[in-house]
Amino acid sequence: MEDRPRSSSEAQAHATNIDHTLKELQRKVRDYEAQLDELRSAEHPAPSTAAGQAQVLRLAFDDVTNSEPFLPFPGSVLPALLALRKTHRTIEESKAFLASQAEATEREQRRLKDDEAALKDHQLLNEALKQRIETLRAEVDSGVTTRPEDEARKRIEELRHKRQYYNKETSKLMKALNRFIDEHLAVMLAAEALGGPVVGEMMDIDADDLAAGFNAQGKLKKPKGEMNKDKNQRRIDDIWGPSDGDGNGEGSGQGRKTKQKQQRDAASAAGAEMRQLTEELLNRLVEAKGSSSDAYVKLPYETAAARFLIRSHVAQFHPRDATKIRLVDFGRELDD
């Protein structure tokens, strides 16, 4: 209860100080206006010589020097208002300066990255030249010299062998990846897409289990006949689209069997989706030529394959667009 009267009294005192300050400023304005009118009414011919003009300026400076400066009364809020205005102006100018320098800072940062990459290239070139000089010195000391074209032919042959080796290793890795997708990963991706557990939580699932479907807790349902298979097939068609060439026979057991054979298998569809996404990410990373912003692949919709790559830290989202992902450039991180 005591704080409320105190705050009201402080507010009243502040309002009184502002009123007094305003009246004082108005009084000074009136005084200056009266002095200006007095000067305008007096007829003082302008001096025609330089000495006369200098005399007028000297008298004016003497008058300003001898006059007492305008100072607010002790309780005036004018100094606080002036300081507040100056502080606000300084803050606004600082914000404007920072905004104007943001683009320049970003440009300098890009230039710094380019210079760092160029420096690294020069360092590698320097090391290669040093090794070449050492090789030439060793050849001179041993008395065995080779012609430049022979050395170039030798280097070309070494590079050809390395390329063949890397192509074989790449082929082996791709075959191993496709085998892993077909034998293990495709079924788990299909299970996650159909509402089952995420990849890795259920390791012993197979393609036959997908027909039963999953409950709300992500656990396998018990099969309940042909109705569940039809519902599950509709769920598969919603995710990966209907297969081409579905039969339209009505009431025929043979037509139903033909339709079931033509329906897309969930595991195969999930595996194909994983291979396609992996291929797009690899191709985009190669086409980007080291540019991180050009290595992203836009996803038409969220898929279990994309979620698996993100959880495995093989790919990562775009920092400002969740529909784009790219492979993590492991080689660049090692080089850095």
pLDDT tens, residue by residue, 202-259:
776 766 666 666 656 556 666 554 445 555 555 555 555 555 544 444 444 444 443 3
201 plus 222 within the same structural domain: yes
Q: Indicate whether 99 belongs to any domain.
A: no
Task: Look at residue 1 and tell me whether its pLDDT is greater than 80.
Answer: no
As for how many domains the chain has, the answer is 2
H-helix segments, 263-296: 266-288
Q: Indicate whether 295 belongs to any domain.
A: yes
**Do the beta carbons of residue 267 and residue 190 sit within 8 Å?**
yes
Task: Look at residue 334 and tell me whether its pLDDT is greater than 50.
Answer: no
The residue segments making up the domain with residue 256 are 181-268
Q: Tell me the helices (H) and strands (E) count for the chain, helix number first.
A: 10, 3
Of all residues in the chain, the percent with pLDDT exceeding 90 is 12
Which two structure tokens, joined as six digits, stand for 285? Answer: 């990373």
- Report the pLDDT value the prediction gives residue 163, as an integer from 0 to 100: 92
Q: What average pLDDT does the chain have?
A: 76
Give the domain-ending residue among 230, 245, 268: 268
More confident residue, 64 or 165: 165
pLDDT tens, residue by residue, 142-192:
766 667 777 788 889 999 999 999 999 989 988 998 888 888 888 888 877
Which two structure tokens, joined as six digits, stand for 33? Answer: 């206006």
Helix (H, G, I), strand (E, B) or coil at 220: strand
- C-alpha span between 271 and 180 (Å, rounded): 10
Virtual torsion, Cα 87, 88, 94, 100, nearest 10 deg? -160
E strand spans, the chain: 297-298, 315-317, 324-327
Task: Look at residue 278 and tell me whether its pLDDT is greater than 80.
Answer: yes
Task: Look at residue 77 and tell me whether its pLDDT is greater than 70.
Answer: yes
Average pLDDT over residues 138-144: 74
The pTM for the full model equals: 0.44
β-bridge partners, 214: 220
Average pLDDT over residues 49-76: 74
- Report the pLDDT value the prediction gives residue 59, as an integer from 0 to 100: 75
Q: Indicate whether 80 belongs to any domain.
A: no
**What's the Rg (C-alpha) of the chain?**
42
Element (H, E) at 191: helix 186-193
- C-alpha span between 158 and 91 (Å, rounded): 64
